[in-house]
Amino acid sequence: MGLLGKRLAADSTRRFRRGNWDIESLERRDCPAAAPFPGSTFNAVPTLSVSDVTVTEGDSGTATAKFSVRLSAASSSTVRVSYGTADSTATASGRDYQSTSGTIWFAPNEIVKVVSVSVIGDTTSEPDEYFGLRLSGAVGAMIFDGMGTCTIGNNDPPTVTPPQTTAPKPSPSPSPSPGRGFQITLTFASGVPTSVQTAARAAATRWEQVITGDLPDVPDGTTVVDDIVINVQMGLLGNSSTDGQYGTLANAGPTRLRPGLPGLPWKAECGIDPADGGSSAMVTILTHEFGHALGFPNGRQFQSYISGSTFTGPNAVREYKALKASATSVPMDNVQGHWDEATFGSELMTPMLNNGTQYLSRITVGAMQDAGYKVDYTKADKGYVPSALAA
């Protein structure tokens, strides 16, 4: 058994039971918040995403922005979700587009609906503008990518400015503002114990050490998000808030992604099983879960590197290859949500919590770079050796 002790066994109900009380399941394989992953075959709650769209505004009348709202899989029951437009640089009050809101209903086996928004034409030369379509209040599904962005392309010629006849007074060059680095903002639902809040802050700090590059701010109503907000609650995400002690410890995932590639999250949520809220490993548990909140494996660019049950991102593969020269990809578990447990054992982003150190290895740091983040490899945990390569 090596350093890991006994693995969890799965009983006939597919709920994990602890073998020797030394390993716990971080997420069940049928956990709704961990789905969907390419190639998965488990019975998961479907997720909802809304597309981005680009339209040319025109000089008069209206153009139509058509947002596709899509379920990850057909549901056997009715699904509904509310939607509403959200101002950004384009505003409804500024007559850039016509505000709209409503509710979408998916009948059983339907997977795509279209929301149309009218974009108002003008003859003003201006930069491209943006507004959003936000999903909320889903019933029968979980929201995965709930903010679609419409880019309104300007088609008006630039205004010609006559040349200056007198030189303007020189003004001092502005000093570049210092980089703020990567910031995780935490919010806590009511009832989250102080001990869990402290552990969450430690987990966020750990990722802020590894991910160093500032991301573009995202408007969110009357506030601006820099770089991601993670809401932490007591109670698992999905249909059941608890499965009892030593089952699913916690789960997490992004709820809003930035448009396009790399499609990094700017809002996420994390749920903790109240039965396991007193775990002495809470910092490790939340560091793992915040990895999921940051887009492992649900960032758009991260997803593009998943092939079967392997990850092919060049940076992660390079780091794995440094440990195993013959490696051409990084093994993942059979639902493509974690690194493969049998191969990587005590690595942080495997699905099981092991005794001893859970290593945030250079392989995971590389995967986060592949996902689109700027990272610092020197902040990876030292001394990690994959289980499959240990003597």
Q: Which CATH number fits domain 179-295: 3.40.1160.10, 3.40.50.2300, 3.10.170.20, 3.20.20.70?
A: 3.10.170.20
Residue 159: per-residue pLDDT: 53
d(CA 363, CA 277): 29
pLDDT of residue 163: 56
Q: How many residues are there in the chain?
A: 391
Query: Quick one: which of 372, 376, 207, 256 has its CA closest to 303?
Result: 372
Q: Is the peptide bond before 38 cis (omega within 30 degrees of 0)?
A: no
Alpha helices by DSSP H, the chain? 194-210, 282-293, 300-304, 314-323, 341-344, 362-371
State pLDDT tens for residues 85-144.
988 888 988 889 999 999 999 999 999 999 999 999 887 777 788 888 888 888 888 777
DSSP sequence for 144-203: EE-EEEEEEE--SPPPPPPPPSSPPPP-PPPPPPPP----EEEEE-TT--HHHHHHHHHH
Alpha carbon distance 114, 1 (integer Å)? 53
Half-sphere exposure of 332 (CA within 13 A, CB side): 27
Sequence spans of domains, the chain: 47-153, 179-295, 300-366+377-390
Minimal CA–CA distance to 182: which of 43, 311, 337, 290? 290
Phi, psi at 111, each rounded to 5°: -125, -15
- Which DSSP state fits 127? -
Say what the pLDDT of residue 319 is: 97
pTM value is: 0.62
Q: Quick one: which of 55, 129, 149 has its CA closest to 89?
A: 129
User: Looking at residue 3, what is its pLDDT?
Assistant: 25
Residue whose token pair is 């030292």: 382
Where b means 16+ CB within 10 Å and e means fewer, 237-253 reads bbeeebbeebbbbbbbb
Fold entry, domain 47-153: Immunoglobulin-like (2.60.40)
Residues in the chain with pLDDT values less than 50: 1-25, 28-44, 167, 170-179
Residue-level pLDDT at 164: 55
What does the alpha-carbon distance between residue 187 and residue 241 come to, in Å, rounded to a whole number? Answer: 19
Asked whether 292 and 338 are in contact (CB, 8 A), the reply is no
